[in-house]
Amino acid sequence: MKTRSLFIAALVVVSATVAAFGKEEPSNKGLAVVPVKGAEVFKVIYKAENAGKIKLNIYNTKSEMVFTETFNGTDGFICPLNFTGLSAGEYTVELIDATGKRTEKINYKPADASAKNVHISKLANENGKFLVSVSSTGNEQINVKIYDAANNLVHSENKSIDGNFAQLYTVKNVTGSLTFEVTDKAGNTKTVRF
């Protein structure tokens, strides 16, 4: 009986020691990082049980801090982060509050410049007329596709452009929304829905 009591006492001591020193790192509960507006902007969403001081840090792939901000007396926030101008790669979002440190990794890939140089607009007061323009400094191949609301291809053409390009497209006999896709030779695509 004495051996059994000693065994139970030892088990209780070991359990208490594990409970006291075996604290796990806090989970990422209360922290989310979501992309918005393509791949350039991310939203950091944070919610805590109690208000307090929160520090937000962003590190690049070389573990260099590229952004830091401190929030005082809050139990949550939504913070948009614009990565425009930063190098492509994996970034670490670190959040430190009273309960510990949470981290989340994100992969940032900037939009290609050639896809940014495409502009598509609907002409006001002109039913079914759209302007597609491409800003370019040299010879380039582009493909223009137009889809109807059911995602059926209604027009497709390849264009060889030399410098800046603009063309007016008239789309008749199509009801509902339209989707324009302009793709360059590198496979970068700009998509606009009307």
pLDDT tens for 38-70 read: 667 888 888 888 888 999 999 998 999 998 998
Six-digit token string for 23: 């604290």
* pLDDT, position 160: 86
For residue 58, what pLDDT is reported? 92
Average pLDDT over residues 172-181: 84
Tell me what the pLDDT averaged over the chain comes to. Answer: 77
Local confidence band at 7 (pLDDT 50, 70, 90 cut-offs) = very low
Could you report the per-residue pLDDT of 142-152, keeping only the tens digit for each?
A: 888 988 888 88
The more confidently predicted of residues 106 and 115 is 106
Residues 163, 136 contacting (CB under 8 angstroms): yes
| Helix ranges (DSSP H) in 111-189 | 113-116
Tell me what pLDDT residue 27 has. 54
What region does 40 belong to: left with phi over 0, alpha with psi -120 to 50, or beta?
alpha
Q: What gap in Å lies between CA 138 and CA 164, rounded to an integer?
A: 8
Q: Domains (ranges, CATH) in the chain?
A: 26-108 (2.60.40.3080), 113-193 (2.60.40.2150)
Amino acid at 17: T
Band of pLDDT at residue 28, cut at 50, 70 and 90: low
pLDDT at 8: 44
Comparing CA positions, the residue from 137, 126, 138, 121 lying closest to residue 190 is 121
Whole-angstrom distance, CA of residue 148 vs CA of residue 64: 47
- 157, 144 Cβ separation under 8 angstroms: yes
Please tell me the distance from the alpha carbon of residue 174 to that of residue 148, in angstroms, as a whole number. Answer: 7
